[in-house]
Structure 1
Amino acid sequence: MANLGRRNHLNIVRQTPAGIYLDAGAFGEALLPSSQISSPIEDDQDSLDVFLYKDSDDSIIASLRFPDAQEGDVALLQVSAINNTGAFLRWGLNKELLLPHGEQVGTIQPGSKVLVKLYLDQRGRLVSSMKLDRHLEEKLPRKQFKPGEQLSVIAVQHTDLGVKCAVANRFWGLIYKDELKSIPALERGQQIDAYVRRIRPDGRLDISLKPPAAEQASALTDQIIAQLQANDGFLALGDKTKPEVIFRLFKVSKKVFKSALSQLYRERRIVITDKGIQLSEKHS
């Protein structure tokens, strides 16, 4: 099945002086113009990877060049020009991407960068919108993601709570301020790998920058310090402690416990000895 605005692998139907015609399924035949073919296509080659889109005449066109973003993506793109139709964005193809006036937010000008969602309009043309609330969902469908799952997120807006982000190009998520202390400030449009921190009862999504084990270890450090303070600054725990003992005390695996100890040691909050762990003088 061929998809407009996306990368496709299509079968060659025939070659003509105008270019190569490809089988685009329900869309009929798509033309790969000869002007885009820089080297001859081998006689025994029966298919090509192409990007499909509609031109201004609504004809289906194929391209061997692939843009920086495709249908469904959220992307930060630069404005190249503005006219009565809207703004035009650089995205890696000669035919620039339209940002209609009705889909713009605030004042934009050539050279500025805008964060947009790419989508197909009613005519099947690929266009863009700065109105992300129209295109991103606040609440997750059931079983869409699970806690700890790795995702790609894009920073959209700084708020009092943290950074609102686009998750997997489809949903809103939130990275809380406590997650942001140990990293450089996230810039609008910056794409990073993150993890599902939790799915709230109302279906909204909290995002973590730490992998699950690191997140668990970070939360465990405070528990270890509290236990040390309650036991005169010393616990007879270490590498040789049995996993079941650690689980009974902290309800975590030995791997997570050791990760938490490493974090506390790096922060110089504890001293590790042959007999166990103790609070450093600075924190005792």
Structure 2
Amino acid sequence: MAQIGKFNTLEVVSKTEFGVYLDGENLDTVLLPKRQVPKDTEIGDWLNVFIYLDSEDRLIATTDKPLAEVGQCALLTVKEVTAFGAFLDWGLAKDLLVPFSEQRKPMEEGQKHVVYLFVDEHTQRITGSAKLSNFLREETNNYQPGDRVSLMIVNRTNIGYKAIVDDLYLGVIHNIDVLQPLRPGQKLAGYIKTVREDKKIDISIQLQGQEARDDIGSRILARLEENGGVLGLGDKSSPDEIYAAFQTSKGNFKKAVGGLLKQKKITLEPKRIIQVKS
């Protein structure tokens, strides 16, 4: 079934001087304008296109790739604010409307906001919303501590950063677990730290406990192998240097190094780690 706001693979059913018509199945036929029709396209060919409504609310297909599809979130820039709401650049000719009712705070031209895309059930227009909690769940039983997840940073709060987890949930990275400046729209890997009694998610951007030390230790050994047995980090290296190399805190790094020392796999200098060859 063809969907508005998604990429669909559709069959060419007719050709005209201004483009080709595609079989939109439940959506009827959909025009792909001539300038976007691939060369040598014939009736019966199948094309992968994105479907949305043009400025006159007619179904239209495009081979252009928007910055997000319906059901996804993206960091978008406000191009214009009108009496209808804010219009954001999402990579297509027709900008994305975020009505005032879907704004957490008034949007201004030039600002960037993380928004969720949905199809308005009344108008069938693709619409944006900054009220992510209306679309993404904040409670779940689907994770265990240590599970690896994908994250998109939403915004800074008093307690840390709000983040989208696996495109489905909202969670929090608390200030104590923030090892570097984060920015809205930034995508990175993370880990479930805890699922609280209220089923809300706390996230870390690094592994915790023994699992973290084992992971960092294995990465240190791998880096030593790559660099001829010498690594330019040591006990006196700064937290920033350590984070740049291994995306972990200096505390976890030192614990991992301590474990490798006990196993007699390395020797340690103030600014160097040296692999012990067996």
Alignment TM-score, normalising by the size of structure 1: 0.70
Residue number in structure 2 paired with 1:137: 137
Matches within 5 A, 1:61-210: 61-122=60-121, 123-140=123-140, 142-143=141-142, 145-181=143-179, 184-210=180-206
Shift of 1:47: 0.6
Alpha-carbon offset, residue 160 of structure 1: 4.0
Over 3 Å counting, the alpha-carbon distance change for 1:85 and 1:71 in structure 2 is same
Q: Which runs of 5+ in 1 are unaligned?
A: 222-259, 278-284
**How many Å separate the matches in 2 of 1:21 and 1:93?**
20
CA displacement 1:116-147 (0-9 Å, x = unmatched): 1111112221011122222222212x54x454
Distance in 2, matches of 1:214 and 1:61, equals 54
Deviation at 1:30, TM superposition (A): 1.2
Q: Which amino acid in the other structure matches residue 111 of structure 1?
A: G
Q: 1:159 to 1:109 in 2, by over 3 A?
A: closer
Number of paired residues? Answer: 235
TM-score between the two structures when normalised by the length of structure 2: 0.72
Equivalent-residue separation in structure 1 for 2:138 and 2:65 (angstroms) = 30
Q: Report if the CA contact (8 A) 2:32-2:62 is conserved.
A: yes
Percent identical pairs in the alignment equals 33
Report the secondary structure of 1:133's partner residue. helix
| Cα shift at 1:155 | 1.4
SS of the aligned residue for 1:69 comes to coil
1:265 Cα offset (Å):
5.7
Q: Which moved more, 1:197-206 or 1:109-118?
A: 197-206
Do the aligned partners of 2:100 and 2:106 also contact (CA within 8 Å) in 1? no
Matches of 2:185 and 2:172, distance apart in 1: 14
Residue identity opposite 2:176 in structure 1: D
For 1:75, give the aligned amino acid.
A
User: 2:79 & 2:70 partners in 1: Cα distance?
Assistant: 20
Q: Does the 8 Å contact 1:265/1:272 carry over to 2?
A: no
Q: What is the CA distance between 1:215 and its match in structure 2? A: 4.6
- Return the offset for 1:91: 1.2
Counterpart residue type for residue 74 of structure 2? A
Query: How far apart are the structure 2 equivalents of 1:263 and 1:94?
Result: 52
Q: After the TM superposition, which residues 227-246 of structure 1 pair with which residues of structure 2 at under 5 Å, given as runs?
A: none
How many Å separate the matches in 2 of 1:14 and 1:198?
55
Instruction: Within 5 Å, give how 1:26-41 maps onto structure 2.
Output: 26-37=26-37, 39-41=38-40
* Amino acid aligned to 1:74: C
